[in-house]
Amino acid sequence: MGTKIGEGAYGTVFKVNFVNEATEKRIQPRMTGTPAHYALKEMLIHRFLQEGRMKEVFIERCILASLDHPLIIKFFQSFKNSNKLYLLVEYCPKGSLVDFLKRQGSINNILTKHIAA
């Protein structure tokens, strides 16, 4: 597994890349010069089942798969094994919106309007 870059209530996020370029091309043909890094969200299925939240996980996956916008994280693929669900998404080297807001400390009205738009 790659480098751990985040952790939440239901699992862990890793920075990963493909060892085999042919496999990567089957997932997502890359444009020349695009970094070959991805974020792999690993979630424990039993936690969702215990809380009755499998529907929310499925909705998250469906919403991510349906979105195509440069300001929204790109979804590539999902897969599972017997106890974990994985979402392969675009890697954002500067972190999430929450990470950005923490680094800023406070933001002005112009930036607030931009983020909310």
Q: Percent of the chain scored above 70 by pLDDT? A: 85
Q: What residues contact residue 24 under an 8 Å CB cut-off, 6+ apart? A: 17, 18, 30, 36
Q: What residues contact residue 97 under an 8 Å CB cut-off, 6+ apart? A: 115
Mean pLDDT of 75-103: 87
Structure tokens at 30: 């890359």
Mean pLDDT of 93-108: 83
Full-model pTM = 0.76
For domain 3-116, give the CATH superfamily. Phosphorylase Kinase; domain 1 (3.30.200.20)
Residue-wise pLDDT tens digits, 63-73: 999 998 887 88
15 and 3 in contact (C-beta within 8 Å)? Answer: yes
Residue 16 dihedral angles phi and psi, to the nearest 5°: -135, 165
In angstroms, the Cα distances linking 84 to 60, 67, 70, 81 are: 16, 24, 29, 6
Mean pLDDT of 6-13: 86
